């Protein structure tokens, strides 16, 4: 028996075979992978996983891929005990899952893209595509290059090209579309449905999003095969948040860990918080918003998995909080100065919200808490311009050094 039974509509439950499809023909709901956990349980063990590759592919038994060929080094990023930040927040067991050093393009997207393009190759696709200027485009372009696939990246034409240098270097075909974001969204959907391409977050999305489960698998293994009490993760489309939840539940289902799944705390930017708003207003549907935040990598105004994220927040007895742009910057700086990790705005949002939950006493001091850091700050350094300490200017004179530096900064030489 195969580990994957097929695809199933998350709304009406209609079943489909394993194909590069993503929308239910009956109700237009999104499709999700259905596994045969009884079958998986027979083949999976902690020992087998521990002997596997040092990448997300050690969890292949719980991924919808038979033969991984793309992104063989993605995943298995560090889980760091955050002693300094923990002390500051009054948390004795705080951990950082650090996907800012994911390989090869320094964000959690390397996980989802590895799974999406490995599956795409199994389906026989020779072309990868996405619509992005950021982490997603970086990852798709890099993985397509190494896999020998053609690659198309779609962007609105009014964006400066220097924003996409990190993708252009991999030599994809970049298509600048005359139009706004909605025009790019619609055109991408049409292309994905018309051409035999793997458009990562459209027609191979059910496979793509499964890659995020490995964020749960790795954390459990790195904690010595246990589930944290609470996790804090950013919410953009809501996919990562719901798949981390699914990942922990699967580990319990197949008997790799005992206990209950974690409480899911979520973080959104105040300037783009449709999932937070739905939860607070008790709605089971999302009211789309126009994003207005520095946290561009999580600025999704109409999140596809928003309703499912609300459901997970409730089911796990979790919550979602928001952070202002200023708090996001402070979050970036706080993680950097306490743990030496430079994250981008999504990570800043997560840390800012972690701080709020800790200060409000929502997280108990002895809970095992994992905060997910999903991207690298070196990609978007411009958000910190004017927000950091300036250098101390001195003449090349020892007297001036003593006066202006030592005299001013008691830490130095102290």
Partner 1 sequence: MHSMKLKLIYPEEKIKEPILSKVCKNFNVDINIRKANVQEKIGWLELEFIGDEVEIEKAINLLVENGVEVLPIEGQVFIE
Asked if 136 touches partner 1 (CB under 8 A), the answer is yes
- One symbol per residue from 145 to 174: x for binding partner 1 (CB under 8 A), - otherwise; what is it? ---------xxx------------------
In the complex with partner 1, the residue whose CB is nearer, 186 or 337, is 186
The answer for residues whose C-beta is within 8 angstroms of residue 48's C-beta and 6 or more apart is 61
The answer for residues whose C-beta is within 8 angstroms of residue 99's C-beta and 6 or more apart is 77, 107, 108, 111, 215, 372, 373, 374, 375
Dihedral, CA of residue 54, residue 58, residue 63 and residue 69, to nearest 10: 60
Three-state DSSP at 48 gives helix
In the complex with partner 1, the residue whose CB is nearer, 189 or 222, is 189
In the complex with partner 1, the residue whose CB is nearer, 14 or 72, is 14
Smallest distance from partner 1 to CB 156, Å: 7
Please give the size of the binding site for partner 1, defined by CB under 8 A: 40
**Residue 286 DSSP symbol:** -
Asked if 133 touches partner 1 (CB under 8 A), the answer is yes
Asked if 302 touches partner 1 (CB under 8 A), the answer is yes
Residue 268's φ and ψ, nearest 5 degrees, are -130, 160
> Which position among 44, 120, 299, 354 is part of the footprint of partner 1 (CB under 8 A)?
299
> Which position among 77, 93, 118, 135 is part of the footprint of partner 1 (CB under 8 A)?
135
> Which position among 232, 236, 320, 371 is part of the footprint of partner 1 (CB under 8 A)?
236
Could you report how far apart the first and last alpha carbons of the chain are, in Å? 67
Q: Are 110 and 146 in contact (CB under 8 A)?
A: no
The Cα-based distances of 67 to 57, 112, 124, 203 in angstroms read 10, 15, 12, 20
Beta carbons within 10 angstroms of residue 35's beta carbon = 20
How far is C-alpha 314 from the geometric centre of its chain's CA atoms? 20
Beta carbons within 10 angstroms of residue 6's beta carbon = 15
Smallest distance from partner 1 to CB 305, Å: 9
Part of the chain binding partner 1 (CB under 8 A), chosen from 2-10, 119-127, 129-137, 308-316 = 129-137
In the complex with partner 1, the residue whose CB is nearer, 89 or 136, is 136
CA–CA separation, 289 and 351 (whole Å): 23
Smallest distance from partner 1 to CB 200, Å: 10
Q: Does residue 104 have a cis peptide bond before it, meaning omega lies within 30 degrees of 0? A: yes
In the complex with partner 1, the residue whose CB is nearer, 246 or 296, is 296
In the complex with partner 1, the residue whose CB is nearer, 274 or 318, is 274
> Which position among 215, 300, 352, 353 is part of the footprint of partner 1 (CB under 8 A)?
300
> Which position among 8, 296, 333, 356 is part of the footprint of partner 1 (CB under 8 A)?
296
With b for 16 or more beta-carbon neighbours within 10 A and e for fewer, the 195-206 pattern comes to eebbbbbbbbbb
Asked if 244 touches partner 1 (CB under 8 A), the answer is no
> Which position among 21, 23, 88, 384 is part of the footprint of partner 1 (CB under 8 A)?
23
In the complex with partner 1, the residue whose CB is nearer, 283 or 364, is 283
The residues that touch partner 1, with contacts defined as CB under 8 A, are 22-23, 26-28, 130-136, 154-156, 181-182, 184-186, 188-190, 199, 201-202, 205, 236-237, 285, 287-288, 296-297, 299-304
């Amino acid at each position: 028996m195969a580990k994957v039974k097929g695809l199933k509509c998350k709304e009406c439950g209609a079943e489909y075979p394993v194909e590069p499809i993503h929308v239910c023909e009956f109700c237009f709901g999104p499709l999700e992978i259905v596994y045969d956990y009884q079958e998986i349980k027979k083949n999976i063990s902690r020992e087998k996983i521990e002997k596997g590759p040092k990448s997300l592919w050690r969890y292949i038994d719980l991924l919808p891929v038979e033969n991984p060929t793309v992104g063989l080094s993605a995943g298995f990023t560090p889980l760091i005990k955050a002693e300094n930040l923990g002390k500051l927040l009054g948390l004795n067991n705080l951990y950082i899952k650090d996907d800012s050093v994911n390989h090869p393009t320094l964000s959690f997207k390397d996980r989802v893209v590895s799974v999406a393009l490995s599956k795409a190759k199994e389906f026989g696709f020779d072309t990868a595509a996405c619509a992005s200027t950021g982490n997603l485009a970086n990852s798709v372009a890099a993985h397509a290059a190494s896999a020998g696939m053609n690659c198309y990246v779609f962007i609105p034409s009014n964006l400066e090209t220097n924003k996409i240098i990190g993708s252009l270097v991999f030599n994809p075909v970049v298509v600048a579309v005359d139009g706004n974001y909605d025009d790019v969204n619609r055109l991408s959907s049409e292309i994905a449905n018309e051409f035999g391409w793997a458009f990562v977050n459209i027609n191979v999305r059910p496979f793509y999003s499964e890659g995020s489960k490995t964020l749960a698998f790795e954390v459990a293994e790195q904690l010595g095969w246990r589930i944290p009490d609470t996790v804090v993760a950013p919410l953009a489309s809501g996919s990562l948040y719901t798949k981390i939840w699914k990942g922990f539940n699967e580990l319990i289902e197949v008997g790799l860990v005992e206990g209950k799944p974690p409480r899911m705390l979520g973080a959104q930017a105040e300037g783009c918080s449709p999932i937070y708003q739905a939860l607070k207003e008790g709605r089971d549907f999302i009211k789309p918003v126009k994003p207005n935040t520095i946290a561009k990598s999580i600025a999704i105004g109409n999140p596809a998995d928003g309703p499912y994220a609300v459901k997970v927040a409730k089911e796990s007895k979790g919550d979602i909080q928001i952070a202002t742009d200023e708090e996001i910057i402070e979050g970036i700086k706080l993680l950097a100065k306490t743990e030496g990790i430079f994250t981008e705005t999504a990570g800043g949002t997560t840390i800012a919200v972690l701080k709020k939950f800790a200060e409000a006493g929502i997280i108990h001091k002895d809970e095992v808490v994992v905060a997910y850091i999903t991207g690298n700050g070196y990609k978007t350094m411009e958000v910190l311009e004017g927000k950091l300490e300036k250098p101390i200017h001195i003449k090349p004179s020892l007297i001036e050094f003593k006066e202006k530096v030592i005299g001013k900064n008691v830490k130095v030489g102290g």
